[in-house]
Every structure is written in structure tokens, then in C-alpha cells.
A and B are shown apart, each in its own frame.
Chain A
Amino acid sequence: MEEVIIDVRYLEKQYMKQKAVKNASFQIRKGMICGLIGPNGAGKTTIMKMLGGLVLPTEGRIFMYGDSTEKGLAQARSRMSFMIETPYAKEKMSARENLEKQRIQKGIPDKKRVDEVLEIVGLSDTGKKQVKNFSLGMRQRLGIANALLAKPEVMVMDEPINGLDPEGIVEIRELLLRLNREEHITIIISSHILTELSLLCSDYIFIHHGELMQTLSVDELHKICKQYYHIHTDNDTMAVAVLQEKLGVAEFDVEEDGSIRLYERLEDMRLVSKTLYDHGVIPLELNLHEANLEQYYMDMVGGE
């Protein structure tokens, strides 16, 4: 199993009378692309700010690379990059000047790195244009460029595709996937665009009202969200045998109550039903379930 890079244990953040984050525990392993999913005010940004050291937890601990001391966390953060809320930039400086300042501040000796990251995000031709004249999409790209500057091992990104046009969204998605695949960069990302997260993430953390509702891998989510027929018969054990022997079915699950989730032959339900009946098994329930990440999330939060 991959190394645990970030280990969050019982993290809480209290503001006056309100708890923004309640008892959150999760682990981020090397190589993950982990999506933080939740509505506005759920606590995603607060968690990211606590990971970044901007906000101090009220309770709980954060371990990064196995160390939770102040010094250890600071050293760990030097191996990571963060892009939280609207990317920060000096308005009256150009993209190049902003990145140059960050390069100096991070102690990166290679001056060419600024040009490299500008090229990666498509801002190399902005010249002396001041950031105050940038569009939202350009500012997001600058934020991503800053995040890439120090060649991080982990990238924590809060809604990085906000304000990007569809082409830009695809570019950033492909960039993040490439960074994860080729440079083995671990990514924690939050977004409201669940379809994008479903194309990007290997794991999901669902947050609602400051509470961690669930953590799922993409395989687990696909199982849950995959289209299937829920079959309940008068003799489920016999039904399984009939499906396997007579129809050669292999993709199915048997639930705790014995009912069957059938993931294949979805277009052949008449044949499935007839086969069961012909072998003395009477189908009592035969329902198609069709869920995606968005539907799953909406069901989880109860449509709030």
C-alpha cells in the first residue's frame, strides 16, 4: 500500500459558536487524486486552510509525512503547493514578476523555472500586462503556475477550474492527470463541478455541514453509481445459480438480504426474467438503478 502523506485525525475548527469542521479524519496516500466534495460552507476550504497552516485547528492533529510538529509541518508544506480560494497575486505586477517573487520567496535557484511554468499554463505571452487586467481564467492559470513552481510532491487545489472556459477545463484536467501519472504528484482538489471530479479523481471525500460524511475510492463509487438491476425473487439462491449457469452472468453482487445486483445484461431484462421464470424462480422485484456521482452526492445530503 502506498505511503500515507497526510493523516488527519479528529480535526475540528470552532469559530465563535459555530463549528466549521467537526471531527474530520482521513488519510491521503501517495499518488491519490482525492476530490473533496461538498456544498458552499461545507468546510472544504477550512480543511484546506488547516492543511496549509493558514488556520489553526481547535482540536485534532495533522500529520504530514508522519510528523505533526510545527517545524515538521512547515517542512512538509515546502514539499507541497497550495491554491486556496481566489489565487493570490500582486495586482500591479505582471505574471512573470509575481512568479519571480514567489520563486525568490520559495528559494528556487533556477530562474528558468518561471518561464517553464508560464509555458505550461499558457501565460508566456502576457508580457508586462498587470494581473489587475487579467480575466478570472487567467488568474486561475497564474495560481496553477504558482502551484507548479517548486515542483511539489503534493498539490492542494481549491476549485482550480473556476472561471475557466471548457477548453481550459479540459487542459487543466489533462495537466493534472499527466502530473499525477508521470510526476507521481498527489493531488487534493475541490470543485463544484462533479462531472469533472468524476473524470479526474481516484478517491472522494464527502463533506457536509463540516462533517465528513463518507470517503470512497473510485472503484467503490463506480460500484455504487453503476447502473444495475435490483432483482429480488422467491428463491434468491436458486436465482443466482440460474443466472450463472444458464445466462453466464459474472458481473453481479449479492446483497446482505440475498437480493441481487445485476450489472450486465441490462438490455436483456426480458430474457433474464423469462429465464428465471422458466426455471421455477419467480421475480418479485426487478428495478433499474441509475446513479452517477452527482446523484449519489444529492442522495447523501438529502437534497439540501
Chain B
Amino acid sequence: MWNIIKAQNYQMKKDIMVVLLAICGLVLLIVPNVLDSSGDMDGLTGSVYLLQTSELLLLIFSIICLLLTCRICGWDYMDKTINYEILSGHSRKEVYWGRIVTSGIWSVVFCYVLGLLPLFIFTIVNGWGVNMNMGNVMFRYALMIFPILRMVCEFALLTFLLRNCYGAMVIGWTLFALSMIGVMFVEELTDTEWKLQLAYTNMSMLFDFSHGRLGYVGGEDVMIYETAVDLQTVLGTIGVSLLVSAVCLALGYLYYKKSDQR
């Protein structure tokens, strides 16, 4: 299995899509913030940057998981090079798990680098700021690994079922968008929070900084945002992510193990 992971890493390093994803992600995260500040960069602290980009970050994380997972699990289906792994003597288990692990590693590393690098840059330049508690925010970032891996498993299942990288990207994105819109619709109607159970991901709960109060810090009125994560959210994030991931992985493996390869 490790040889499959190494081979996939070799291939991904040569994939132009990875470069474009990195560049586009950084540009989308940094440039609008710089333009928004209208030349006054001093106010763009780490916490302000995060407040301004939290929703965009969720979108980017989702796109990263989608594109990388579908690419790693599905691209080799389209030109049948995945067949070489079975023909070389790797078991179906090794081929499947090799790609899942590779997808997980690339998605997590990519999300965290894109999610944290601009944050660190702005924090180093202008400081963290007073709007949010850094420790709590970092804890939220750490929890993010669970929904990221959940999305990887969901997109991997889709890709193994469809055996088509681009088809999985389109359908995966559609399902993701529909589930997020659907959950918002249900929440409006029923006045409950069902995101954890119904949506493709509960990332939006972890990066929800909409609850704040006015505070007085350093002689100025500032908005102080609630960043502590309650136990229910922590357990729900971890529990639902692990459960959904396990189901997706099991279904994907059962299908792949028994299916003929074209």
C-alpha cells in the first residue's frame, strides 16, 4: 500500500491542477482582503482576516477536498492506469486504502496550509487582534480535520462508484451545494440546527463567528466574537464525521472489491 501512496504522491507533484489550486486558493484568500483594506493594512489583523474570510475558507476547503479526492481516486480510472496496480500484484484492499490515505493526506495538508498560511502572515505582520480568542480559534482549526476527512470519504465513495474523476467532481459539488441549501431551508422552516446530521459537512458550524458582543478594549469599542466550542459541537463533529466516514469507506470498499475493472 505504501508503494501506491508514494506513486500517487509522485503523480500529484507533477499534476498542474495542484499548482493551480494552490495559486487560486491563495489569491482568493489574500487579494480580496488586501483590496478591501483600501491601503490601510494595519487593521488587517489575524482575527479580522479570519472574520472576513471564514465563509470563503469553508468554500475553499470543500473545493480542495472535492478536487483532490476526485483527482486521486478517479483520474486513473479514466485512462485505466489504476488497473496496473492490481495487475502488479496489489490487492484491491491496498489499491483502495492507498488512494483513500493519499486523498486524506493531500486534502488535510492543503486545507491547513491554505487555511493557516495567510492567517499566520497577517498575524505576524499586524498581530492577532482582540476580536477573537486565538486558542479557541486554533482549537476550531484542529477540529476541522474531522469534517475534512469526512468530505474526503464522501467524495471518495462517489468517485469509486462513478469511476470518473470529472463526473464525481460535478456530482459531488452538486450534492454538496444541495445539501447545504437543503439544510438551510429545513432550519428556516423548523427553527432547528440539523447541520451535523444532514449536510455534506458541518464545517460551517466550526467557522461560525456570527455570535459576538460589543466590548471595550484598549480605549475602543470592538466586537468580541464567541469562539469557545461547546462539548456538544465537539462530540457531534467528531462522532458524526467518524460515523459518516466509516459508512462511506465501507460502502466504497465493498463496491470496489466486487466490481470488474474495465
- Chain A interfacial positions (CB closer than 8 Å to B): 49, 52-56, 70-71, 74-82, 84-85, 88-93, 97, 100-102, 104-107, 146, 150
Nearest-Cβ distance from residue B95 to partner chain A, whole angstroms: 10
Q: Which listed residue, B3, B7, B86, touches A53 by the CB 8 Å rule?
A: B86
Q: How many residues of B contact A (CB 8 A)?
A: 23
CB distance A105 to B7 under 8 Å?
yes
Q: Given the complex, which residues of B lie within 8 Å of A52, measured CB to CB?
A: 83, 86-87
Chain B residues 228 to 262 lying within 8 A of chain A, measured CB to CB, are 258, 260-261
Inter-chain contacts of A85 with B (CB < 8 A) = 80
Q: Give residues in B with beta carbon < 8 Å to A.
A: 3-4, 6-7, 10-11, 14, 16, 79-81, 83-91, 258, 260-261
B88: chain A residues at CB < 8 Å are 77-78, 81, 102, 105-106, 150
Question: How far is it, in angstroms, between the C-alpha of A76 and the C-alpha of B7 when the chains are bound?
Answer: 21
Tell whether, in the assembled complex, residue B7 and residue A74 are in contact, meaning their CB atoms are under 8 Å apart: no
A19–chain B nearest beta-carbon distance, Å:
14
**Please, how many angstroms separate the alpha-carbon atoms of A30 and B88 in the complex?**
19
Taking CB atoms, residues of chain A closer than 8 Å to B11 are: 90, 93, 101
| Residues of chain B contacted by A105 (CB below 8 angstroms) | 3-4, 6-7, 84-85, 88, 90
* In the complex, the 3 A-B pairs of residues with the closest C-beta atoms, listed nearest first: A78-B89, A105-B7, A77-B89
Contact present for A82 and B260 (CB under 8 Å) = no
Picked from B10, B85, B91, the residue with its CB within 8 Å of the CB of A100 is B10
The answer to whether B89 and A84 touch across the interface, beta carbons within 8 angstroms, is no
Give the contacting residue for A90; candidates B79, B89, B258, B260; CB below 8 A: B79
In the complex, chain A residues whose CB is within 8 Å of the CB of B89: 74-80
Q: Chain B's interface: helix, strand, loop or mixed, by majority? A: helix
Residue on B nearest A97 in the bound complex, by CB: B14
Closest to B260 in A: A55
Contact check, B261 vs A55: say whether CB atoms are below 8 A apart. yes
Instruction: Tell me how far the C-beta of B185 lies from the nearest C-beta in chain A, rounded to whole angstroms.
Output: 41
> Contacts of A80 on B, CB cut-off 8 Å?
89
Given the interface pairs A53-B87, A54-B261, A75-B89, the reply to whether A88 lies near B79 with Cβ below 8 Å is yes
The 18 sampled A-B contact pairs (Cβ below 8 Å) are: A49-B261, A52-B87, A54-B83, A55-B260, A74-B91, A76-B89, A77-B86, A81-B87, A85-B80, A88-B81, A89-B79, A89-B81, A90-B79, A102-B84, A105-B4, A105-B7, A105-B85, A150-B88
Would you call A88 and B91 a contact (CB within 8 A)?
A: no
Chain B: which residue is nearest A104 at the CB level?
Answer: B7
Question: Cβ of A104 and Cβ of B86 under 8 Å apart?
Answer: no
The contact of B84 among A75, A88, A92, A93, by CB within 8 Å, is: A88
A18 CB, nearest partner CB in chain B, Å: 14
Chain A residues within an 8 Å CB radius of B79: 88-91
Do residues B87 and A101 form an inter-chain contact, with CB atoms below 8 A? Answer: no
CB distance from A20 to the nearest CB of B (A): 11
Q: Check A54–B4 contact: CB distance below 8 A.
A: no
Is the pair A101, B91 in contact by a Cβ cutoff of 8 Å?
no
Residues of B within 8 A of A55 (CB): 260-261
Q: List 12 other contacts, CB 8 Å, given A55-B261, A81-B88.
A: A54-B261, A77-B88, A78-B88, A84-B83, A85-B80, A90-B11, A100-B10, A101-B7, A101-B11, A102-B84, A105-B6, A107-B3
Q: Are the C-beta atoms of B91 and A70 separated by less than 8 Å? A: yes
**Distance in angstroms between the alpha carbons of A63 and B16 in the assembled complex:** 43
Query: Assuming A89-B79, A93-B14, A105-B3, is B91 touching A82 (CB within 8 A)?
Result: no
Nearest-CB residue, chain B, relative to A86: B80
Residues B84 and A56 in contact, CB atoms below 8 Å apart: no
B10 is contacted by which of A56, A104, A106 (Cβ under 8 Å)?
A104
In the complex, what distance in Å separates the CA atom of A131 from the CA atom of B85? Answer: 19
Question: Are A146 and B84 in touch, CB under 8 angstroms?
Answer: yes
Distance in Å: Cβ of A282 to nearest Cβ of chain B: 62
User: In the complex, A107→B1 CA distance in Å?
Assistant: 10
Tell me the smallest distance from the CB of B43 to a CB of chain A, in Å. Answer: 44
A105 to B3 CA separation, bound complex (whole angstroms):
5
Assuming the A-B contacts A90-B79, A93-B14, A101-B11, are A54 and B87 also in contact, with contact meaning beta carbons closer than 8 angstroms in the complex?
Answer: yes
Query: Do the beta carbons of A56 and B260 come within 8 Å of each other?
Result: yes
Closest-by-CB residue of B relative to A51 is: B87
